[in-house]
Amino acid sequence: MRFASVAAIVFAAFTILLAGSAPAAAQSWSPPSPEERCPSKWGAGDERGAANHMGPETVLKAASLIRTGRVIELGQVLRGSMPLGARHFDLYMKPTGPSTGSNRRGSNEELVVAEMGQVGTQFDGFTHQTIGDSLYNCVDQNEVMTRTGFTRLGVESVGTLMTRGVLIDVAALKGVDMLPDTYEITVDDLQQALDRQGVALEPGDAVLIHTGWGVLWDTDGERFMATNPGIGVAAAQWLVEQDPMLLGADNQPVEVSPNPDPEVSLPIHQIMLVVNGIHLVERMRLAELAAAGVYEFAFVVQPLKIEGATGSTVAPVAIY
């Protein structure tokens, strides 16, 4: 056998070992028909989707998980140098005038020019993604989109969400700080990580997936935005069956990117937001939570009440 062939075999074996298992085979996906996905299981005309889980029971359940009172912030700091892709975040300081009064009171403000629904750690609303022109619960976006916002399904209707949070640390399962580029997280990965942690998912959970990709946020924004590991179609469908309130991750789009099927564009966004009404929280700060080995906690998030917006930058917290 030639040396080059041996080297290729060794490299392939190392790649598989690093991931902990062979990458999942590409699984294509086609959107279900309107008749198959509508009305939502929450009812015709529903605009809240899985946020309907929110109620006194989820709050009390989450509160019962607080033992030490420690708060871990899960939101990234917003700054102009953060990974943005084609989006913008520009902050301009605005002194409001000369000192006034005998006490020489001065003040400052700022002007922020940004896609405030889609920068930083951000919460995807139901108007963010479509199947053709169809939004969640088969709302026709042409009938609800105006120049100043959406008249239905705007992020302002989400409100405060407080529920049991569960961290699924796939990076730890694989024994790495960060999963390899474009690694597709499988159903087996999720189940094995949960078993390793001694935690099971329950309806209404906020499910957060740690890939380790978040360490690139401050160190290599270009790589952070280029590709990333994340869940694939099968894992997404399995998570839907677990009936979560929302799904989040420390990577750019929650899902693996690019998708293993080059003909499909970000299908998990459609599976979660459009088909099943499950909000996504992207670009989370999960390294501290993972390092603490905290897998079950009270999770709290509230999107900004931007009327008619497609989403909101957020600063969620884990309390345990």
**pTM for this structure?**
0.90
Q: Where is 231: in which H helix or E strand?
A: strand 230-231
Provide the token pair at 9: 């075999």
pLDDT band at 319 (very low <50, low <70, confident <90, very high): very high
Q: Which residue has the higher pLDDT, 9 or 172?
A: 172
pLDDT (tens digit per residue) in 212-248: 999 999 999 999 999 999 999 999 999 999 999 999 9
> 275: buried, middle or exposed (CB in 10 Å: 19+, 13-18, 0-12)?
buried
Q: Provide the CB-side half-sphere exposure for 254 (13 A, CA).
A: 27
pLDDT at 28: 80
pLDDT band at 14 (very low <50, low <70, confident <90, very high): very low
What is the assigned CATH class of domain 26-83+115-319?
alpha beta
95: which strand partners?
108
pLDDT (tens digit per residue) in 33-78: 999 999 999 999 999 999 999 999 999 999 999 999 999 999 999 9
What's the CA gap between 189 and 294, in Å, rounded? 18
pLDDT (tens digit per residue) in 101-129: 999 999 999 999 999 999 999 999 999 99
- Taking the mean position of all CA atoms in its chain, how far away is CA 75? 11
pLDDT (tens digit per residue) in 128-176: 999 999 999 999 999 999 999 999 999 999 999 999 999 999 999 999 9
pLDDT band at 304 (very low <50, low <70, confident <90, very high): very high
pLDDT at 27: 67
225, 82 Cβ separation under 8 angstroms: no
pLDDT at 3: 34
217, 82 Cβ separation under 8 angstroms: yes
Segments of 96-136 assigned E as strands: 108-114, 122-124
pLDDT at 22: 43
Among residues 206, 118, 216, 203, the alpha carbon closest in space to that of 166 is found at: 206
Where along the chain do its domains lie?
A: 26-83+115-319
pLDDT (tens digit per residue) in 184-208: 999 999 999 999 999 999 999 999 9
230: which strand partners?
184
Provide the token pair at 228: 């990333």
